[in-house]
Amino acid sequence: MAKCTFVVALALALVGSAASPKALEPPVISEGFTLLPCTAKKTTIGLEGCAEHRIVRSDRGINRRARTIFFLLRRFNSPAAQLRFVRGEHAWLRYRRAVCASRSDVYEGGSAAGVVFAECEAAKNTAHLRELESFERLIRRR
């Protein structure tokens, strides 16, 4: 199974708690896979490709929303709030990958594993985008 990988561009030293607030940047999802074609045919490759296209589209939505939230958190004049948000997004990406890998493990060695993994990531992205939209509304009301 070819599991999707991704690179997360975060703060310069995000892992360390001593990251400089001035160096902190919004989290960005960047997938590390080459998109498979999304075809009308219901093949394994086609299903996985369509799910990958949904992942990339929803990644763009998550990136836009995360960037907006990151800069809205400046209202509270708390670099720590931005750092916690970035760390939370980083943790969410690790969670997404681990949960979806676990789901696809059921089909390890079979052609469905990649489809299950990609479908899972697409679903997790959709749910996360709703969470971010809700968080943004909360911040804007304050």
Residue 1 located in a structural domain: no
Residue 125 located in a structural domain = yes
- Parent domain of 101: 6-13+20-141
Question: Has this prediction a pTM greater than 0.75?
Answer: yes
H runs (alpha helix) in 73-111: 79-105
Q: What is the pLDDT along the chain (142 residues), one digit of tens a residue?
A: 344 333 333 333 333 444 454 579 999 999 998 999 998 888 999 999 999 999 999 999 999 999 999 999 988 878 899 999 999 999 999 999 999 999 999 999 999 999 999 999 999 999 999 999 999 999 999 8
Contact 115, 48 (CB under 8 A): yes
- Confidence (pLDDT) at 22: 55
Q: For residue 47, is it within any domain?
A: yes
3-state secondary structure of 79: helix
The number of domains in the chain is 1
CATH number for the domain spanning 48: value is 1.20.1270.180
- Is residue 67 one of the residues assigned to a domain? yes
Q: Is 54 within the bounds of a domain?
A: yes
Please report, for residues 7, 14, 37, 70, 133, the alpha-carbon distance to residue 32 in angstroms, rounded to integers and kept in the order given: 6, 20, 16, 24, 25
Q: What share of the chain is helix, strand, coil (3-state, %, to 5)?
A: 65, 5, 30
Question: What is the pLDDT, as a whole number, of residue 73?
Answer: 94
Task: Output the CA torsion sign for 63, 69, 70, 72.
Answer: positive
Structure tokens at 58: 């929803």
- The answer to whether 22 touches 129, Cβ cutoff 8 Å, is no
∠118-123-126 over CA atoms, to 5°? Answer: 125
